[in-house]
Structures are given as structure tokens and as C-alpha cells.
């Protein structure tokens, strides 16, 4: 018999096989609960949605701002030298004016797809109210 007084294991217990901590159960694979996203290009002046292939457009359809400008470029960075992430020879003074920069690429961001097909909070309330209508 062991010299332990109680059956609980404690600091005097013999080392046994070490148990690894269990991992929490993983959710089922797939895209359940993940919001859909889509690439979008927006005007830097008014925020209007632009087609991603807006190379053919010269101006924003909403505010008539020039699209081939530094403010619309993917490389525009106010913290960098000449406010551009690409190595350019000289600074372009007016960032909103049209320019002939060869490093220009229209800024494209990834946004959540907030289509109207999503369930709105009013839909549940309206469905509940329809249960009691005659």
C-alpha cells in the first residue's frame, strides 16, 4: 500500500503517462459564417463605385474627377517620398489632376458583399407580425 493518506493525486503522486491538452472541436469545413467579399474600386473624391476596368474612363461618372491621377492610384502613399510607393523621378504637384505617370494602377480594394439578399432585422419582425394578421 502506498504511503499516501488520500486517493487524490497531488505533488507526491507517481508520474504517469502525460496527457496532451485537448483541442476544441473545429467547426465544419466550408464557408459557413464567412462573409463574401468582392473587389471594388471607388472614386477618391466622392466614393462612387467605379468599374474595375476603368482604364477606358477618363473621369468619375459621379463627380467628374480625373481618374488617372495620383489620388486614384494604388501606389499613392502620403507617407512616402514624393507621396508614391513607386520610384519616380520628380514629384507631381497636384495629386488630383490628370497626369501621365507610367506606374499608375487603379486602386482596387476588397469589400464585403452587402447585397440586398441578406436578411435584415425588420424581416423577422415583419414575419412575426404576419402570423397574427387576419
Rg of the chain in Å (alpha carbons): 30
Residue 94's nearest CA partner among 72, 74, 63, 79 is 72
**Predicted TM-score (pTM) of this structure:** 0.55
User: How confident is the model over 18-46, as pLDDT tens digits?
Assistant: 777 788 877 666 655 667 788 888 888 88
Give pLDDT, residue 15: 64
Q: Domain segments of the chain: what residues?
A: 35-112
pLDDT, greater one: 71 or 117 = 71
pLDDT > 60? residue 118: no
Q: What residues have CB less than 8 Å from 63, skipping those under 6 apart? A: 43, 45, 46, 48
Residues 6+ away with beta carbon under 8 Å from 98:
58, 66, 68, 69
Amino acid at each position: 500500500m502506498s504511503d499516501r493518506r488520500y486517493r487524490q493525486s497531488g505533488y507526491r503522486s507517481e508520474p504517469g503517462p502525460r496527457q496532451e491538452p485537448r483541442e476544441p472541436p473545429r467547426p465544419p469545413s466550408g464557408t459557413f459564417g464567412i462573409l463574401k467579399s468582392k473587389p471594388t474600386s471607388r472614386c477618391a473624391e466622392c466614393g462612387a463605385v467605379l468599374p474595375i476596368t476603368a482604364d477606358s474612363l477618363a473621369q468619375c461618372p459621379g463627380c467628374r474627377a480625373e481618374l488617372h491621377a495620383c489620388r486614384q492610384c494604388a501606389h499613392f502613399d502620403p507617407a512616402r517620398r514624393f507621396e508614391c510607393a513607386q520610384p519616380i523621378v520628380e514629384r507631381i504637384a497636384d495629386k488630383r489632376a490628370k497626369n501621365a505617370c507610367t506606374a499608375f494602377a487603379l486602386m482596387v480594394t476588397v469589400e464585403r458583399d452587402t447585397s440586398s439578399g441578406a436578411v435584415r432585422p425588420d424581416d423577422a419582425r415583419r414575419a412575426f407580425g404576419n402570423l397574427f394578421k387576419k
